[in-house]
Amino acid sequence: MELRHLRHFVALAEEHSFTHAAARELIVQSGLSSSVRALEAAAAASQAVPEVRGLLAGHLRIDTYPANPRVLPLPPWPAGPTRAHPALEITVRQTDGPAMTRMVTD
């Protein structure tokens, strides 16, 4: 947000006319409209910030050693974080030893 946007908004509020406010600020009417539109976008952005503050997002991939799910079932713990953070995607997959070694090395 720039100071000129606020100055243009005040002129518009006081003049009650885009034409008169633009003439007062020595700019064309389309310039005043663009300035007010930029101010509206800044207001929308400032309202959106609290909505995403603290949001945990991204992709977490967990690789496990292959196991028989009847002998060693995976715990249901990934469901908790995804409920608390819906923008977080968690993938759990089984990977063999050599592939896991390569991933750790890389």
Phi and psi at residue 28, to the nearest 5°: -75, 160
User: For the chain, how big is the Rg over CA atoms in Å?
Assistant: 27
Each domain of the chain, given as residue ranges in start order, spans: 3-52, 58-105
Mean pLDDT of the chain: 81
Which pTM value belongs to this model?
0.43
Task: Please count the CA atoms within 13 angstroms of the CA of 55 that sit on its side-chain side.
Answer: 12
- Using CA atoms, how far apart are residues 31 and 33, in angstroms rounded to an integer? 5
Burial environment of residue 37 by CB neighbours within 10 A (0 to 12, 13 to 18, 19 or more) = exposed
Q: Does position 36 have pLDDT exceeding 90, yes or no? A: no
CA end-to-end distance (rounded Å), the chain? 44
- Going by pLDDT thresholds of 50, 70 and 90, the confidence category of residue 30 is very high
* Per-residue pLDDT, 17: 92
- Where do the DSSP E strands lie in the chain? 58-64, 88-94
